[in-house]
Amino acid sequence: MRAFVTGSTGLLGNNLVRTLLQTGHEVWALARSEEKARRELGDTATRIVIGDVRNVAGFAYELKGVDVVFHTAAYFREYYNPGDHSNAVELTNVRGTMELAQAAHAMGVRKMIHASSAGIIGLQPDGSPGDEQTSPWPGTMKNLYLKSKERAEQLLCEFSREKGFFIASALPSWMWGPHDVGPTPSGKLVFDALAHKLPPMLPPGGSSVVDARDVAASMLRIAEIGRSGERYILSGDFAEVADVIASLAALAGTKPPKRHIPFAAAVALATAAETWSRITRTASPMSVEAIRLMNARLRVTAAKAEKELGVPFRPFAVTLADTVSWARTQVNADRRPLILSASNRRTA
């Protein structure tokens, strides 16, 4: 098939492009920067399309002849930086997503697979892991990114029913993996570990985690055998943040922090850090919303995806080892400064 991938230089998009090509599909990759796309995807046979999901009309004609649109682009990094990003989040994650769906349908695309987030899934009333039918996590409405993902899912579902257009949503948990050139917060932790700059104290909380390569393979399976109007949680096991940092330290050959910081203290420090970042107009090293999300210790189950899609999710220890190995090659190739300089960019 001919696949169109948005967010092609991001953690998920990059791995998805490679997965699609490895399985014999033709890939058109949307990117805002041709230079970055050539740098990150130049070793592949993908066709690069320059465009921005905030201006779908600018690349809509490229959707003609496409079989499946894989929409992984999202605005989230700036949410951790100073300033009001609500309008930008809305324009990219909601309005841009809907305009993409409308353009894809108008151009005769058969299917659209949307990357949402398992972060919007709450726990079951008895505290057991949430599934696709579980009510949203109460904190979703206070989290700009998660709120936008839930809203986009609702609108896409309505559009799918109205037009008879195949749309399904993939809901990955906290993603890790190679090709995290942004980097995402998880990727930054990996590079920090290699630079012996892990946080001085262990933050509270944890999250369900997943390998971006497994998410990519699952999204392909959704396109192949998934059902329209359905959502599929894509996730491996639950991991405590403290355990993740300890594992990264061991893999990177550095000493892990020993002291744990309580939740209330972590929120207070993050609040102060965000205030200072607004004053100095610099990126905040801590996010109140990220700490609250981790402290919720949300667990999800991917039983539906495993049963219906037949996809496996590799052990997280394997993911971490592979990610550190990949990141080390970037450092050895003197690409780390280039990677970190892009940390406040979003993917198209």
pLDDT tens for residues 238-270? 999 999 999 999 999 999 898 999 989 988 988
Q: How far from 93 is each of 130, 195, 276, CA to CA, in Å?
A: 23, 33, 27
| pLDDT tens profile 34-53 | 999 999 998 999 999 999 99
Order across the sheet with 166-172: list the strands.
Answer: 47-50, 26-31, 2-6, 68-71, 111-115, 166-172, 231-234
Residues with Cβ within 8 Å of residue 225, at least 6 apart in sequence: 308, 309
What confidence score (pLDDT) does residue 226 get? 98
**Three-state DSSP state, 298:** coil
User: What mean pLDDT is reported for the chain?
Assistant: 92
Residues 46-75 have pLDDT tens digits of 999 999 999 999 999 999 999 999 999 998
How much is the pLDDT for 83?
Answer: 66
Q: Both ends of the chain: CA-CA distance in Å?
A: 22
Q: How far apart are CA 227 and CA 208, in angstroms?
A: 24
What's phi and psi for 98, nearest 5 deg? -70, -40
Identify the pLDDT of residue 348: 53
Q: What is the pLDDT of residues 178-214, one digit of tens each?
A: 999 989 989 999 999 999 999 888 888 999 999 999 9
pLDDT given for residue 282 in this prediction: 75
C-alpha to C-alpha distance for 113 and 132, rounded to whole angstroms: 16
Would the pLDDT of 341 be above 50?
no
Phi, psi (rounded to 5 degrees) for 152:
-65, -40
Question: Domains, the chain, ranges and CATH?
Answer: 2-340 (3.40.50.720)
Q: How far, in Å, CA of 30 to CA of 49, rounded? A: 5
Q: Please, which residues bridge with residue 239 across strands?
A: 207
H or E segment at 56?
none
